[in-house]
């Protein structure tokens, strides 16, 4: 019995360590940045990601080039205490470029499309660990999705996140 349990644990760990979508980021390849300081990835309303799962949240340009890979944070305070909130530095050489997102689910070894897109704004900061932005796998619009049209004159820079 112990051998079966040890084998199952060993196999699961090896599967997670070997699973990887092969995404490579190139931080020095682009001139400008924008930051997601708090993003939560949802699948049918259920939050994705935990400390040891190996999942990856990333941004891509229209040609499929990686424009940023997120770091999983687990805030020790606030309403998202202990939950997975992603931080990502996105890159571009020009304002207005449309970026899309993908989520790699290591437990399923599957790459999943994110419904929302982002129109690049130089030096933009989206969300934070207290009030993160929701990103949805394969569906559009979450109840906490920001309404960027709500106050168009309130910010120096604006962002557009749209359902896919």
Quick count: other Cβ atoms within 10 Å of Cβ 131?
13
By the 8 A CB rule, do 55 and 105 touch?
yes
| DSSP reduced 3-state for 36 | strand
For tokens 């979508």, name the residue: 21
Q: What average pLDDT score do residues 39-60 get?
A: 88
CA-CA distance, 149 to 162, in Å (whole number)?
11
Q: The whole model's pTM is what?
A: 0.71
Q: Give the tens place of pLDDT for each residue, 102-131.
A: 999 988 899 999 999 999 999 999 999 999
> Could you tell me which residue, 135 or 157, shows the higher pLDDT?
135
Cβ-defined contacts of 16-21 (< 8 Å, 24+): 16/52, 16/53, 16/54, 16/106, 16/107, 17/54, 19/54, 19/106, 19/109, 20/54, 20/104, 21/56, 21/102, 21/104, 21/111
pLDDT tens readout for residues 56-94: 999 999 999 999 999 999 999 999 998 999 999 999 999
- 37-41, 54-58, 153-157: segment of lowest average pLDDT: 153-157
More confident call, 120 vs 20: 120
* Residue 163: pLDDT over 70: no
Closest CA relative to residue 130, chosen from 56, 75, 48, 65:
75
């Amino acid at each position: 019995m112990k051998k079966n349990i040890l084998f199952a644990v060993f196999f699961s760990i090896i599967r997670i360590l070997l699973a990887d979508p092969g995404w490579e980021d190139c931080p020095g390849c682009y001139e400008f940045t924008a930051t997601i300081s708090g993003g939560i990835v949802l699948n049918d309303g259920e939050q994705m990601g935990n400390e040891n799962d190996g999942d990856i949240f990333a941004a891509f340009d229209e040609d499929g080039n990686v424009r940023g890979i997120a770091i999983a944070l687990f805030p020790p305070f606030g309403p998202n205490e202990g939950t997975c909130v992603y931080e990502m530095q996105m890159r571009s050489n020009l304002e207005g470029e449309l970026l899309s997102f993908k989520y790699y689910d290591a437990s399923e070894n599957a790459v999943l499309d994110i419904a929302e897109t982002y129109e690049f704004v130089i030096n933009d900061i989206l969300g934070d660990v207290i009030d993160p932005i929701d990103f949805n796998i394969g569906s559009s619009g979450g109840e906490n999705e920001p309404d960027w049209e709500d106050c168009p004159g309130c910010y120096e820079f604006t962002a557009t996140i749209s359902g896919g």
